[in-house]
Amino acid sequence: MAVPRSRILDLIKVQCRIFSHTFNPEGARLGNKVLRQRLKGPALAAYYPRKMATFKDLQKAYPQWETYDEEQEDRLEALKIIKARGKGAPKKKRTAAESKKFKGKKRAAAVAAA
């Protein structure tokens, strides 16, 4: 028993209304598949772990507490040892003349020749 097409279309129309779909019997390209897609931005943006509180923040929040930052103390101790052996970084030059004094072999040679 054949059902007339108009009757099937009516049925589809009602179905679309009930389930809030778009009624599109011709199958035209309406781009609705783009609207159906979920937004993936929030998931992608949450990939890297965000910054958490650091030791410095803790010290700043509770200055009255005595804290011990092991990494920082280790670093400072190592620096002290290096400095004592005379292998530390040179002192920062404060003036332009000071910083120009010994800068490369060529410049030194040119100054000597002149």
Partner 1 sequence: MSMFRAKKLDLGCFVNIKTIRDHTKRKVFAENEPERQALRYIIRNMSLPQRARVQAQVQLAQMHCYTRPTQIRNRCIEGGKGRGILRDFKMSRYMFRLNALAGNLPGVKKASW
Binding site for partner 1 (CB under 8 A): 28-35, 37, 39-42, 44-45, 47-52
Which amino acid makes up residue 74?
Answer: D
Output the smallest distance, CB 37 to partner 1, in A. Answer: 7
User: Could you tell me which of 27, 25, 2 has the C-alpha nearest to residue 12?
Assistant: 25
Q: Which is nearer to partner 1, 20 or 37 (CB)?
A: 37
Could you give the CA distance from residue 101 to residue 93 in angstroms, rounded to a whole number?
10
Cα dihedral sign for 65, 70, 75, 80?
Answer: positive
Output the smallest distance, CB 63 to partner 1, in A. Answer: 22
Could you give the CA distance from residue 11 to residue 19 in angstroms, rounded to a whole number?
12
Q: Which is nearer to partner 1, 32 or 67 (CB)?
A: 32
Q: Which is nearer to partner 1, 38 or 103 (CB)?
A: 38
Output the smallest distance, CB 61 to partner 1, in A. Answer: 17
